Amino acid sequence: MFLKSERLGFRRVVQGDEVLLHELDSEPEVLRFIPRNPATLDHLKLKTLPAVLRLYDETPGMGFWVAEELASGRFVGWFHLKAVKEDSEAGEIGYRLKREFWGAGLATEGSLALIDYGQKTLKLQRITGVAMTENKASIRVLEKCGLRFEKSYPFCDETMKSQGFETVELSLFVRTLSEP
């Protein structure tokens, strides 16, 4: 186990987890604020998983982690702490949880565990988080984790364009870790 919080255990993503990720992304409410079509099981296995696994070597100490409920061992979702290309002293937090685990404070709990790990172990100076501006629940999680709104900006990448999605507005939140 990579990391633990009060109710969650975090482990590296491994081959075979594409089934769990596919199940997660098959929940329409989970993808409500993700401007992409659900990935196929083959895409997850052949494209997504190898990219996620490479991150562990490319950015040691950072990456994506499967989150499991400590009490039951059930798959809750995933969290990430990724490098920020423009800022070597920063990490970006993110998560995606199964619908049945929403509203229980697990997104905040898991994010705070990764922020603490980033500050104490990786010596990061800043944490960022991004959410669609209309995703008020995720924005509230970022705020509970001490991140503050910095700016909003339009976003539309090549995958979104190829799948027929329009530009969305994203909001960037930042926390300087020397703050209490």
Closest to 12 in 3D by CA, of 67, 60, 77, 58? 67
pTM: 0.91
| 3-state SS class at 94 | strand
- Give residue limits of the domains in the chain: 3-127
Q: pLDDT tens, 165-180?
A: 677 788 889 999 875 4
- The pLDDT-based confidence of 38 (bands split at 50, 70, 90) is confident
- The pLDDT-based confidence of 97 (bands split at 50, 70, 90) is very high
**Would you state the pLDDT for residue 179?**
52
Return the higher-pLDDT residue of 33 and 109: 109
Q: For the ranges 16-20, 108-112, 134-138, 160-164, which has the lowest average pLDDT? A: 160-164
**Would you state the pLDDT for residue 36?**
72
Residues pairing with 19 in the sheet: none
Q: pLDDT tens, 155-168?
A: 777 776 776 767 77
Helix (H) or strand (E) segment spanning residue 150: strand 148-155
The domain made up of 3-127 is a member of CATH 1.10.3720.10: no
- Distance, CA of 105 to CA of 7 (rounded, Å): 10
Count, in order, helices (H) and strands (E) of the chain.
6, 8
- Distance, CA of 9 to CA of 65 (rounded, Å): 9
**Would you state the pLDDT for residue 128?**
95
Q: Are strands 168-176 and 126-132 parallel, antiparallel or unpaired?
A: antiparallel
**Would you state the pLDDT for residue 82?**
95
Q: pLDDT tens, 52-88?
A: 999 999 999 999 999 999 999 999 999 999 999 889 8
- The pLDDT-based confidence of 16 (bands split at 50, 70, 90) is very high
